[in-house]
A and B are shown apart, each in its own frame.
Chain A
Amino acid sequence: TQLLEQSPQFLSIQEGENLTVYCNSSSVFSSLQWYRQEPGEGPVLLVTVVTGGEVKKLKRLTFQFGDARKDSSLHITAAQPGDTGLYLCAGPETSGSRLTFGEGTQLTVNP
């Protein structure tokens, strides 16, 4: 059973559009991380959200942690082709426990 479910699995949009991807669980997580993976490379950490309701911004990317710490979302404004990649969420159920990864959202931004 996948503890972290990501949606959508695939997303193809045009440059300049906005999008939101989701990471949901029935379990409470002490924190959630978002990674981006480009073809042929390993995942790279983008951000960690820790507090319920927390919002973090990274340029055009906005990350939010749900109030109950069971879900998170990633919103991209005015997407660019360079945003193309696999977006993974991950989290430890309790502080210090091993990470659980979602299966990811494959985003393609067409020029």
Chain B
Amino acid sequence: DAGITQSPRHKVTETGTPVTLRCHQTENHRYMYWYRQDPGHGLRLIHYSYGVKDTDKGEVSDGYSVSRSKTEDFLLTLESATSSQTSVYFCATEPGTSRNNEQFFGPGTRLTVL
């Protein structure tokens, strides 16, 4: 267990409002990831970070931004939430010491945009 927490665990918001999801890890892992999980699409990568202040886009990054000011925290922001962003969001971390990219996941945040 990599000691990954996500907050909030559940959130209901309205279209057009900004939303920030937080991922916190206690393992000093180098890499952090944000995924969304939807029926029929599996896990899709939104953004990832390979170090403090170093981030890059994943396959479904439109409408999302991220920040990583400390090793332990990775924030995902929906600038103006839309109903299509209703999903379950998972944070994952990776030590960066293995060639196999094994990842450790948080418990998820269920976001509903009305």
Interface residues of A (CB under 8 A from B): 2, 30-31, 33, 35, 40-45, 48, 50, 88, 90, 92, 95-99, 101-104
Contact = CB atoms under 8 A, between A and B. Distances in A.
Size band of the interface chain B makes with A: 20 to 34
B104 interface: yes
Contacts, number: 55
Nearest to A50: B100
B47 to A, nearest CB: 11
Given A33-B102, A95-B99, 5 more contacts: A2-B42, A42-B90, A42-B106, A48-B102, A92-B100
B103 interface: yes
A30 B42 contact: no
B42 A88 contact: yes
A45 B108 contact: no
Contacts of B102: 33, 45, 48
Given A40-B108, A42-B107, A44-B105, A101 B99 contact: no
